[in-house]
Structure 1
Amino acid sequence: MNAPQGWNTGTLHEVAHITMGQSPDSKYYSEEEIGLPFLQGCAEFQARFPLPRLYCSNSKKIAKQGAILFSVRAPVGRQNIAERDYVIGRGLAAIQGKQVAQPYLEHFLASETPNFSTASQGSTFEAINSTELASWPVIYPDDHAEQSKIAEVLSKVDSAIAQTEALIAKQQRIKTGLMQDLLTRGIDEHGQVRTEASHAFKDSPLGRIPVEWDVMEIDQLVSRVGSGVTPTGGESVYTADGILFLRSQNVHFDGLRLDDVAYIPSHIHHSMMRSEVVENDVLLNITGASIGRCCRMPKINIHANTNQHVCTIRLRDVDEARAGFLAAVLQSHIGQHQIGQLNAGGNREGLNYQQVRSFHVPWPSDRSEFVRIYDQIKRMNAVVAHHSVSLDKLRHLKTALMQDLLTGKVRVTHLLLQIEAASA
């Protein structure tokens, strides 16, 4: 690791105090607030500061307030900050800067997370031992003011990321509540969500719905329910371009994701024409860990097909609004609950076509109501998508800044000079 002018390198042991955790005997543990809060590993790292479940009256290995809490067992490298003193078990280490300012050290160690995972050892689980951690190389500016300015810049980006994540979570909660209303109450001809105080409702297998609606089985609405196959030869027949070949990793609740997409040659596609995917098909993952993820097929400029893990649902009387409404129902608690019930107790997550055809969905009788409902859904999705794009940009900015600022490739010296000039 080469240091630029004005920077230095050292091991983590040289620049920081390291305390390796050690789990006390279980007789010292308690759910009552006796002693100090106890952290065994990073399972309690669900928020900015840890959320301990136990307390410990044996304070042999302590992470002092302000220390970096560092996971030394899988996942190696996860971090948090001790906002108070903690007893730490052998899944954690506490790191406190000596020659390096604590905020700078926190950001530097965070930037090294991928490297920690690669370097970790263990036959049955990933881990990093005290020697490996102590000898970990650290690069840092000699000037503490430069360290602090680097940390300040990165912390501001972290703050913007946290605020955007919170905003997205809030919008998702609003969307969930509004979707519940839209998919069970609908929107009347005046553009208002119906209520039982102003409109007539009736009982149904899915609960109370407007009298103008029906509950239909998907089988009553479709011209096709099916999927494709994985071509003979598997990934060896994939090409750099050609026919888009959609797999379960491409189908998400927020739409298609094509950053990891495969292509197949035209002759294979022609042998699989029954599973060709067209605009306004509803795509539903029917096997594996992503079972239940679904979206509407958008308009694209090339032909597409799918493998056996993605089911294509094609409405007989189809348009964007109806397909979008059906996808929204399957994404909601209405569809996900039915998927969960069908998979309860099974050895392998999976749905067959008969089960998909048997799904019950609410269905308005007025074609224009599909349009009104889907317009609302699109507006909500657009808001979430806008903030998600902002979040992606901030994360990419953070990555780029860490690569530049924490290696000295880009210096913040000019920022410090501006501060000095402003205060002169």
Structure 2
Amino acid sequence: MSRKVIPPGYKLTEVGVIPEDWLLQKLGLHASFRTGPFGSALHKSDYVDGGIPVVNPMQIVDGKVVPTFSMAISGDAAKKLVEFRLSVGDVVIGRRGDMGRCAVITEKENGWLCGTGSMIIRVKPSCDAAFLQRILSSASVISAIENTSVGTTMINLNQGTLRELQIVLPENKNEQIAIANALSDTDELIAILEHLIAKKQSIKTATMQQLLTGRTRLPQFAKHPDGTIKGYKSGELGHIPEDWEEREIGKFAPLQRGFDLPASKRSEGLYPVVYSNGIVNTHNHFQVKGPGVVTGRSGTLGKVHHIACDFWPHNTSLWVTKFINSDSKFVYYIFKYIGFERFASGSGVPTLNRNDAHSFKVAIPSSLKEQTAIATILSDMDAELTVLEKKLSKIRNIKQGMMQQLLTGRIRLPLDNQP
């Protein structure tokens, strides 16, 4: 039997290989615990809008406390529960339901109340609170907590479980802080990207609204050949550009139900089968020449897909049979902007009413070139969003890897000031 090779500078413990200068100890050596007050300690009359927030598990989101100000109590009620008030540097953890919901209390949350579904972890000087929060939200520790907590339908975390919980941590507190800071920097980068994506998405939504209704014209289509500005005209849909027209969907992008996929045609192949909710590569024969636009027929309404290659529209989908003086990508964006959920019918599984969709009128440019130009701008914005979303996904994956490596000591960070 081969023996496990221990790398230099590491040691073997009951939880695996860890650095020689790291500790495997019970959490109770580094913190004390206080369960939130029993429900009977608070009465309905104690709750007020805009009072002192109460922190229950649902107020702990992604390692931060997100208050619900309707879940707050009066100052008088809080005075009776001083021992349950949160202090800067505490870790508050949810003790019911999903484990791993925990956050470090900052100056902003100082004095807020630990709710009945939460627990206060008062961290001792030997441990950094931010590092401990990362430990408690790691997959391995969550699993250990779940395996030792009580409850069958809903896990209930108690003080004894936390007190006896074995954790791995650097003996050097500076290293704990360095690890927590590195993970916080990654969180900050993720938050910046999330904010940027949300901002870009809002800009795209506003751009769609302006360009697809003609409220904003692209410069190359906004003027007559003599240089005068093109005006607007009145119609059933209100004011639209003078060189646009109101057309029923059925007159420029008629829809047809997709086809059954015979078992004999199913194989790993080249052409995508487009279902109501996505694309699956399953066969080597196509039914329709691309490009095309497909939307859900039943159940998954509102999902619209632009397909650049040849494809097989599945019978759960509706597909545009022909583009009559219309650009396929422009039709795709028009369909997304309209929101095909509006054409749902049926009391059970919602089904798209094709007749209602066909008779629905929209304003579109008479010029195919203008349609294509609008679609190109929106497509470029989508491409930028896709790049950012892939980058965000990659950084999230990197963060998960960092947590696994840093919190177990497999990767060590350089420390500027050794004790």
The residue type equivalent to 1:200 in the other structure is G
Structure 2 unaligned blocks of 5 or more? 1-14
After TM superposition, list the pairs within 5 Å mapping 1:189-268 onto structure 2.
190-191=219-220, 198-222=229-253, 224-229=255-260, 243-250=271-278, 262-266=280-284
State the Cα distance separating 1:133 from its structure 2 match: 4.6
Aligned residues: 384
Equivalent-residue separation in structure 2 for 1:70 and 1:248 (angstroms): 41
The whole-number CA distance in structure 2 between the counterparts of 1:348 and 1:116 is 41
Q: Specify whether residues 150 and 205 from structure 1 end up closer, same or farther in structure 2 by C-alpha distance, changes over 3 A only.
A: farther
Q: Does 2:26 match 1:8?
A: no
2:118 aligned partner: 92
Q: Where does residue 3 of structure 2 map in the other structure?
A: none
Could you tell me which amino acid in structure 2 is paired with residue 105 of structure 1? Answer: L
Whichever residue aligns with residue 354 of structure 1, its letter is: N
Q: Distance in 1 between matches of 2:344 and 2:212?
A: 23
Relative distance call for 1:216 and 1:70 in structure 2 (3 A) is farther
User: Counterparts of 1:349 and 1:132 in 2: how far apart (Å)?
Assistant: 47
For the 8 Å contact 1:72–1:128, the answer to whether it is kept is: yes
Q: Structure 2 CA distance, aligned partners of 1:364 and 1:231?
A: 40
Which of 60, 67, 72 matches 1:55?
72
Provide the rounded CA distance (Å) in 1 between the counterparts of 2:296 and 2:144. Answer: 34
In percent, how many aligned pairs have the same letter? 23
Q: 2 CA distance for matches of 1:89 and 1:171? A: 37
Instruction: Say yes or no: does 1:101 pair with 2:112.
Output: no
Q: Deviations 1:207-238 (Å, cap 9, x if unpaired)?
A: 432122223222112354223457779xxx97
CA distance in 1, matches of 2:262, 2:30: 55
Say which one has the larger Rg.
2
- The alpha-carbon distance between structure 1 residues 315 and 85, as it changes in their structure 2 partners (threshold 3 A), is farther
Partners in 2 of 1:110 and 1:69 — Cα distance?
A: 12
Residues 240 and 132 (structure 1), Cα distance of their counterparts in 2 relative to 1, 3 Å cut: farther
1:73 pairs, out of 73, 92, 96, with 96
Q: Does 1:31 align with 2:41?
A: no
Residue aligned with 2:127, SS? coil
1:123 to partner: Cα distance: 5.2
- C-alpha change, 1:162 and 1:193, in structure 2 (3 Å) is farther
2:336 alignment partner, one of 331, 334, 344: 331
Instruction: Work out whether 1:292 is the aligned partner of 2:293.
Output: no
Does structure 1 retain, via aligned residues, the 8 Å contact 2:255–2:354? no
Partner Cα distance (1:371, 1:239) in 2: 35
Indicate the residue corresponding to 1:258 in structure 2. none
Contact 2:94 2:102 in 1 (8 A): yes
Give the 3-state SS of the residue equivalent to 1:315 in structure 2: coil
Letter in 2 for 1:129: L
Which residue in the other structure is 1:257 paired with? none
Matched, 1:129 2:134: no
Q: Indicate how the Cα distance of structure 1 residues 85 and 368 shifts in structure 2: closer, same or farther if over 3 A, else same.
A: same
Structure 1 residue 157: Cα displacement: 1.0
Q: Residues 69 and 323 of structure 1: is their aligned pair in 2 closer, same or farther, counting only changes over 3 Å?
A: farther
* Bigger Cα displacement from structure 2, 41-50 vs 81-90: 41-50
Pairing 1:312–2:341 present: no
> Is residue 246–residue 361 contact of structure 2 (8 Å, CA) maintained in 1?
yes
SS of 1:316's equivalent? Answer: coil
Q: 1:174 to 1:385 in 2, by over 3 A?
A: same
Query: In structure 2, how many angstroms separate the alpha carbons of the residues matched to 1:122 and 1:291?
Result: 39
Question: Residue in 1 aligned with 2:202?
Answer: 173
Distance 2:292 2:249 in 1: 13
> What is the CA–CA distance in structure 2 between the aligned matches of 1:134 and 1:287, rounded to whole Å?
53
Secondary structure of the residue that 1:208 maps to in structure 2? Answer: strand
1:71 partner amino acid: G
CA distance in 1, matches of 2:199, 2:55: 30
Aligned CA-pair RMSD: 3.6
Matched-pair contact (CA < 8 Å) for 1:226–1:353: no
Amino acid at match of 2:335: L
Q: Aligned letter for 1:40?
A: N
Matched, 1:143 2:148: no
The 8 Å contact of residues 222 and 229 in structure 2, kept in 1 or not, is answered as no
Q: Distance in 1 between matches of 2:196 and 2:180?
A: 24
Distance 2:205 2:88 in 1: 39
CA distance in 1, matches of 2:45, 2:399: 42
Tell me how far apart the structure 2 counterparts of residues 313 and 43 of structure 1 sit (CA, whole Å). 46
Check the 8 A contact 2:60/2:103 in 1, yes or no.
no
Question: 1:366 & 1:170 partners in 2: Cα distance?
Answer: 31
In structure 1, how many angstroms separate the alpha carbons of the residues matched to 2:374 and 2:128? 54
Q: How far apart are the structure 2 equivalents of 1:207 and 1:169?
A: 31
2: CA distance, partners of 1:315 / 1:29: 64
CA distance in 1: counterparts of 2:102 and 2:235, whole angstroms: 50
1:282, 1:323 within 8 Å by CA — same for their partners in 2? yes
Structure 1 alignment gaps of length 5 or more: 251-260
TM-aligned CA distance change 1:188 to 1:88, over 3 Å: closer
**Partners of 1:360 and 1:211 in 2: CA distance:** 17
Shift of 1:368: 0.9
Q: Give the TM-score normalised by structure 2.
A: 0.78
